[in-house]
Amino acid sequence: MSRAPQIRFLADGRRLHLQDGPIDLIVEARGSEANLRAAYDAAARRFTGLLDELCDELKMLRLAADPARCLLQGAVARRMHGAVAPFAAWHFITPMAAVAGAVAEEILGAMVQEVRLERAYVNNGGDIALHLAEGQRFTVGLIDRPDQHGLMRTIIVDADDPTRGVATSGRHGRSFSFGIADAVTVLARTASQADAAATIIANAVDLPGHPAILRIPAHDLQPDSDLGARLVTRGVGELSEREIADALEAGNSCARALLGAGLIEGAALRLCGETVSVASRPVNPRVSRGAYQDGMESAEHV
Amino acid sequence: MLTDATAATDKIRCDACPVMCYIKPGAAGACDRYANHNGELVRVDPHIVLERTVSHGGRLVPFQATGDWDGKIVHEPSVFVTAIGAGTTYPDYKPAPFIVSSEIDGVDMVTVVTEGIFSYCGVKVKIDTDRYLGPETATVRAQGEAIGHVTTSEYGSQMLSLGGVHHLTGGSKKEGRVTCEALMDLSNCKPVELTIDGGATVVVQAGYPPIVNGVAEERMRVGCGSATIGMFAKQWHGKVDEVVVVDDHITGVLSEHQAGKLLEIPDTGIKMKGRRSTPGRYFQVAEPGTGWGGTMISDPLSVLGPFDPRTARPGMTMLMVSTTGEHAAYYELDAMLRPVEKPMPADLRQSVERIQENCEPALCTVLFMGGAGGSLRAGVTDNPVRLTRSVKEALTRVTSGGAPVYVWPGGGITFMVDVTRLPAGAFGYVPTPALVAPIEFTLRLSDYAALGGHMDHVRPLASLKDNTEIRQMPPQPPGPRA
Question: 3-state DSSP call for residue B385?
Answer: helix
Lowest-pLDDT range, A17-31, B68-82, B328-342? B68-82
* Rounded average pLDDT over B199-223: 89
pLDDT band of B113, cuts 50, 70, 90: very low
Q: Which of B465, B438, B445 is nearest to B95 (CA)?
A: B438
pLDDT band of B395, cuts 50, 70, 90: low
B222-264 confidence digits (pLDDT tens) = 888 888 999 999 999 999 999 999 988 889 999 999 999 999 9
Chain B residue numbers touching A22 (CB-CB < 8 A): 17, 19, 29-32
Task: Report the distance separating Cα B87 and Cα B48, nearest Å.
Answer: 8
Lowest-pLDDT range, A66-70, A145-149, B271-275? A145-149
pLDDT value at position B110?
35
Cβ(B119)–Cβ(B482) under 8 Å? yes
The A residues from 237 to 276 touching B (CB cutoff 8 Å) are: 238, 270
pLDDT value at position B377?
56
Q: Is the pLDDT of residue B308 over 60?
A: yes
Task: Report the distance separating Cα A182 and Cα A174, nearest Å.
Answer: 13
Q: Is the pLDDT of residue B118 over 50?
A: yes
| DSSP one-letter code for B419 | G
End-to-end Cα distance, chain B: 42
Q: Is the pLDDT of residue A93 over 80?
A: yes
* Rounded average pLDDT over A252-264: 94
More confident residue, B35 or B256: B256
pLDDT value at position A204?
96
Any idea where the domains of chain B sit in the sequence?
A: 1-43, 44-117+373-465, 121-220, 225-357
pLDDT band of B76, cuts 50, 70, 90: very low
Q: Which of B35, B25, B27, B44 is nearest to B1 (CA)?
A: B35
Interface size A-B, in CB pairs within 8 Å, comes to 172
Task: Report the distance separating Cα A196 and Cα B111, nearest Å.
Answer: 17
SS (H, E, C) chain A: CCCCCEEEECCCCCCEEEEECCEEEEEEEECCHHHHHHHHHHHHHHHCCHHHHHHHCHHHHCCCCCCCCCCCCCHHHHHHHHHHHHHHCCCCCCHHHHHHHHHHHHHHHHHHHHCCCCEEEEEECCEEEEEECCCCEEEEEEECCCCCCCCCEEEEEECCCCCCEEEEECCCCCCCCCCCCCEEEEEECCHHHHHHHHHHHHHHCCCCCCCCEEEEEHHHHCCCCCCCCCEEEEEECCCCHHHHHHHHHHHHHHHHHHHHCCCCCEEEEEECCEEEEEECCCCCCCCCCCCCCCCCCCCEEC
Instruction: Please name the member of A128, A149, A222 whose beta carbon is closest to the beta carbon of B27.
Output: A222
pLDDT value at position B78?
20
Lowest-pLDDT range, B13-22, B102-111, B137-146, B451-460? B102-111
Q: Is the pLDDT of residue B159 over 70?
A: yes
* Rounded average pLDDT over B280-302: 82
Does A172 reach chain B within 8 Å, measured CB to CB?
Answer: yes
pLDDT band of B378, cuts 50, 70, 90: low
Q: Is the pLDDT of residue B89 over 50?
A: no
Chain A residue numbers touching B31 (CB-CB < 8 A): 21-22, 24
Q: How many angstroms separate the most distant Cα atoms in chain A?
A: 58
Does A53 reach chain B within 8 Å, measured CB to CB?
Answer: no
pLDDT value at position A30?
92
Amino acid of residue A56: D
| Residue of A15, A52, A147, A277 to mutate, interface with B, max B Cβ within 10 Å | A147
> How close B429 gets to chain A, by Cα (Å)?
13
In a 13 Å sphere around the CA of B207, the CA atoms on its Cβ side amount to: 11
**β-bridge partners, B253:** B244
pLDDT value at position B49?
36
Cβ density class B204-242: b for 16+ within 10 Å, e for less: bbbebbbbbeeeebebbbbbbbbbbbbbbbeebbeebbb
> How close A80 gets to chain B, by Cα (Å)?
17
Q: Which of A207, A215, A203 is nearest to A242 (CA)?
A: A207
pLDDT value at position B223?
82
In a 13 Å sphere around the CA of A182, the CA atoms on its Cβ side amount to: 23
Judge: A223–B23 Cβ closer than 8 Å, yes or no: yes
* Rounded average pLDDT over B440-457: 60
* Rounded average pLDDT over B420-448: 70
B225: left (phi over 0), alpha (psi -120 to 50) or beta: alpha
Residues 6+ apart with CB under 8 A from B5: none
Instruction: Please name the member of B11, B97, B99 whose beta carbon is closest to the beta carbon of A182.
Output: B97
Lowest-pLDDT range, A172-176, B170-174, B312-316? A172-176
A24-58 confidence digits (pLDDT tens) = 899 999 999 999 999 999 999 999 999 999 999 99
pLDDT value at position B150?
96
More confident residue, B76 or A2: A2
Residues 6+ apart with CB under 8 A from B389: B451
Chain B residue numbers touching A238 (CB-CB < 8 A): 173-174, 177
pLDDT value at position B274?
86
Q: Is the pLDDT of residue B2 over 70?
A: no
What is the Cα A295 distance to its own chain's centre? 19
CA distances from B6 to A18, B16, B194, B461 (A): 34, 19, 42, 38
Summary mean pLDDT of chain A:
86
Could you tell me how many residues make up chain B? 482
Cβ(A15)–Cβ(A8) under 8 Å? no
pLDDT value at position B432?
65
pLDDT band of B94, cuts 50, 70, 90: very low
Task: Report the distance separating Cα A133 and Cα A203, nearest Å.
Answer: 34
> How close A252 gets to chain B, by Cα (Å)?
18
pLDDT band of B8, cuts 50, 70, 90: very low
pLDDT band of B17, cuts 50, 70, 90: confident
A219-252 confidence digits (pLDDT tens) = 988 888 899 999 999 889 889 999 999 999 999 9
* Rounded average pLDDT over B127-144: 89
Q: What are phi and psi of B176, to 5 degrees?
A: -65, -45
pLDDT value at position B13?
87
pLDDT value at position B380?
56
- High-pLDDT (> 90) share of chain B, %: 34
Smallest CA–CA distance from B105 into chain A, residue = A288
Q: Which of B179, B181, B300, B185 is nearest to B243 (CA)?
A: B300
Lowest-pLDDT range, A156-170, B116-130, B358-372, B425-439? B425-439
Instruction: Please name the member of B32, B98, B107 whose beta carbon is closest to the beta carbon of A140.
Output: B107
Judge: A22–B481 Cβ closer than 8 Å, yes or no: no
Chain B residue numbers touching A19 (CB-CB < 8 A): 471
* Rounded average pLDDT over B124-130: 89
End-to-end Cα distance, chain A: 52
Q: How many CB atoms lie within 10 A of CB A85?
A: 19
Judge: A138–B479 Cβ closer than 8 Å, yes or no: no
| DSSP one-letter code for B168 | I
Chain B residue numbers touching A26 (CB-CB < 8 A): 101, 472
Lowest-pLDDT range, A246-250, B309-313, B357-361, B362-366? B357-361
Question: Is B345 exposed, middle or buried (CB count within 10 Å of its CB: 0-12, 13-18, 19+)?
Answer: middle
More confident residue, A17 or B125: B125
Q: Is the pLDDT of residue B478 over 50?
A: no
